[in-house]
Amino acid sequence: MSQSIKQLENRFHRLAQLDHASTFLSWDQMVMMPNAGNEPRSAALAELASLRHELLTAPEVGDWIGEAELALATDSSTTESDATTATAHATANATAHIREMKRSWHQAMALPAELVHAKVIAGSRCEHGWRTQRGNNDWAGFLENFRPVVALAREEAQCRQALAPERFATPYDALLDLHCTGDSQALISGVFAQLKQELPGLMQEVMERQASQSITSLEGSYPIAQQQALSESLMSMLGFDFESGRLDVSMHPFSTGVKGDQRITTRYRETDFADALQATAHETGHAAYESGLPDELQSFPVGRARNMCIHESQSLLFEKHLFLSRSFGKAMLEPLHRHLPATVAFDSDAIWMAQTRVKPSFIRVEADEVSYPLHVMLRYDIESALINGKMEADDIPEAWQASLQNYLGLSVSGNHALGCLQDIHWTDGAFGYFPSYTMGAVNAAQLGASFKQQHPEWQQQFAQGDVGFVRQWLSDNIWKHGCALESQQLMSAATGEGSDARHLLAHLRSRYLQDID
């Protein structure tokens, strides 16, 4: 190993320690911290972000990367003459290792330190205020904090586009690449175009079919403590290790942490247990991916999750293809009745039919999986126009209502908590993230089709609560690779082809029109 690579690894190890601290300070801010602590916590996080940026953009880092690439090129020439499989594999791994460090460095170099600091402060302030403003339907109050977030996000997007104009046709494309790294705008637009064309008709067909079916209401009285115990049982069934993680409550469910310390949050409603379980299964999938990444590479970019399109595929696979499957529902019945005695009258078929009811709704995280991609496309349309300067923050409610009517035939009638105030993502400037949900759904369906083909007995195993073979398949095909492969290479290696919307459409038709689940 060259001296330059050692120096790079030492630097990225330090960066990983800063990331560790920031991760858990942020988790505490969203889950445990008293309200009065927000401003000083935001300042602390901004200082950590500035220090990280300073370490990553220091002049010597660029020098080390150049030297490492030169050393790698020399090694590659040697490999061509050596030509052993082991040597070629080692060179490929080294190439990915340096490529991902360079990618992180390149992304950091696009932004001035002052912008990095300002983004953290503005985002923390906006997110903290949103927690109250959402419940109060206070769009005007939110807007006061949100305008600076938008201005800073536009500045960031323009900086990133200017550094690589050949890659990014618009400022929004540059932010999209932060979350869907390696997946081109053309690929994502192609997937969305196919779904836009076919989903409305499919949704109508499913709704007409379900109209003649008797659906049992799951509403009742379900104490939060009982729901939490049930959620923890579900996590255990899905392979979550409580010696290496925990479950808490937050306004918006999320998963964060590091290997050996995974933090999951969910939210509960006393009248409905199903939404909390789906959210818990979803976040458990995120945690499984993080826990399954290569131990020896956890301090380095190459050892991290590939991108959010892959990350969301793991969470959606756990939520939609494991937990929500009719077969796994049979295994869930015993813990459900044990933890929630009020459900003893429900059988697994009644619960499954209620949970797979398709109907346009206002809240994205509570939407059925047929209409869900339309929620994402609504946000995609708005945020791309916002970042590209074709819309202002003040225009969002009107644009939201127009798109909601177009995609789902609904009206929020001024209730912004059901509309543009419902999501946390925009509060801290995470523009470009939403498309990863639909790309994740496409990838999840594609991965699900592959492991089911290789394990034709999957329904029997699910019915017994056995998902270990799925975790092993994902470990072998996704988790162990970290960032060594680009996203489409990863999908091709696992399934034989790149991301294709037809697998999601086939899954939806199979589950909702053919009763194959």
Q: Provide the H-helix boundaries in 293-412.
A: 308-316, 326-339, 348-355, 372-387, 396-408
Q: Give the model's pLDDT for residue 81.
A: 53
Instruction: State the Cα torsion 185-287-124-106 to the nearest 10°.
Output: -50
pLDDT digits (tens, 9 = 90+) for 9-42: 999 999 999 999 999 999 999 999 999 999 999 9
| 28 plus 147 within the same structural domain | yes
| 127 plus 157 within the same structural domain | yes
pLDDT digits (tens, 9 = 90+) for 299-350: 999 999 999 999 999 999 999 999 999 999 999 999 999 999 999 999 999 9
| 77 plus 199 within the same structural domain | no
360, 371 contact by CB (below 8 A)? yes
- Classify residue 374: in a domain, yes or no: yes
| 106 plus 196 within the same structural domain | no
- Classify residue 325: in a domain, yes or no: yes
Q: Give the model's pLDDT for residue 517.
A: 84
Last residue of a domain, one of 154, 179, 204: 179
* Total domains in the fold of the chain: 2
pLDDT digits (tens, 9 = 90+) for 33-64: 999 999 999 999 999 999 999 999 999 999 99
> What band does 79 get if pLDDT is binned at 50, 70 and 90?
low
| 342 plus 379 within the same structural domain | yes
Q: Is the pTM of the predicted complex or chain greater than 0.85?
A: yes
Q: Give the model's pLDDT for residue 2.
A: 86
For this structure, is 366 an active site residue? no
The contacts of residue 450 (CB under 8 Å, 6+ apart) are 477, 494, 495, 496
Instruction: For residue 500, give its domain range.
Output: 185-213+309-513
d(CA 326, CA 302): 37
> What band does 186 get if pLDDT is binned at 50, 70 and 90?
confident
> What band does 75 get if pLDDT is binned at 50, 70 and 90?
confident
Q: Give the model's pLDDT for residue 185.
A: 83
User: Of the candidates 418, 420, 434, 445, which has an alpha carbon nearest to the alpha carbon of residue 501?
Assistant: 445
User: Of the candidates 209, 199, 205, which has an alpha carbon nearest to the alpha carbon of residue 407?
Assistant: 199
pLDDT digits (tens, 9 = 90+) for 427-437: 999 999 999 99
User: Of the candidates 357, 356, 319, 350, which has an alpha carbon nearest to the alpha carbon of residue 333?
Assistant: 350
- Binding residues for Zn(2+), by number, are 282, 286, 312
- Would you say residue 419 has pLDDT above 90? yes
What percent of the chain has pLDDT above 90?
93
pLDDT digits (tens, 9 = 90+) for 206-261: 999 999 999 999 999 999 999 999 999 999 999 999 999 999 999 889 999 999 99
- Classify residue 58: in a domain, yes or no: yes
Q: Which residues of 438-453 are buried (b: 16+ CB within 10 A; e: fewer)?
A: bbbbbbbbbbbbbbbe
Last residue of a domain, one of 179, 197, 230: 179
| 322 plus 359 within the same structural domain | yes
- Strand partners of residue 262: 245, 257
Report the range of poorest mean pLDDT among 66-75, 208-217, 264-273, 413-422. 66-75
- Binding residues, by number, are 282, 286, 312
For 183-236, give the secondary structure using H, E and C. Answer: CCHHHHHHHHHHHHHHHHHHHHHHHHHHCCCCCCCCCCCCCHHHHHHHHHHHHH
- Classify residue 222: in a domain, yes or no: no
Positive or negative torsion for Cα 187, 189, 194, 195: positive
| 209 plus 101 within the same structural domain | no
* Burial bucket for residue 166 (CB in 10 Å: 0-12, 13-18, 19+): exposed
111, 156 contact by CB (below 8 A)? yes
Q: Give the model's pLDDT for residue 343.
A: 98
392 secondary structure, DSSP code: -
Q: Provide the H-helix boundaries in 136-170.
A: 139-163
- Classify residue 220: in a domain, yes or no: no
| 174 plus 190 within the same structural domain | no
Instruction: State the Cα torsion 46-52-53-58 to the nearest 10°.
Output: 150
What's at 86, amino acid-wise? A
In the chain, the largest separation of any two C-alpha atoms, in whole Å, equals: 71
* Burial bucket for residue 22 (CB in 10 Å: 0-12, 13-18, 19+): middle
Q: What are the structure tokens assigned to 218, written together?
A: 């799951």
∠ CA 114-118-122, rounded to 5°: 175
Residue reference for tokens 């399109």: 309
- Classify residue 298: in a domain, yes or no: no
d(CA 439, CA 149): 25
Q: Give the model's pLDDT for residue 85.
A: 53
| 165 plus 193 within the same structural domain | no
∠ CA 295-301-306, rounded to 5°: 90
Distance of CA 21 to the CA centre of its chain: 21
| 122 plus 195 within the same structural domain | no
| 191 plus 93 within the same structural domain | no
What percent of the chain has pLDDT above 70?
97
Classify 256 as helix, strand or coil: strand
Report the range of poorest mean pLDDT among 87-101, 151-165, 170-184, 487-501. 87-101
> What band does 87 get if pLDDT is binned at 50, 70 and 90?
low
307, 107 contact by CB (below 8 A)? no
What's the number of CA atoms in the CB half-sphere (13 Å) around residue 328?
Answer: 21
Q: Provide the H-helix boundaries in 83-112.
A: 85-109
- Would you say residue 351 has pLDDT above 90? yes
| 440 plus 502 within the same structural domain | yes
Residue reference for tokens 């960031």: 156
Among residues 232, 283, 290, 369, the one annotated as catalytic is 283
> Which phi and psi (to 5°) does residue 263 adopt?
-110, 120
- Classify residue 255: in a domain, yes or no: no
d(CA 348, CA 355): 10
List the CATH number of the domain containing 462.
1.10.1370.30
Last residue of a domain, one of 126, 154, 179: 179
Q: Give the model's pLDDT for residue 74.
A: 84
- Would you say residue 83 has pLDDT above 70? no
- Classify residue 90: in a domain, yes or no: yes
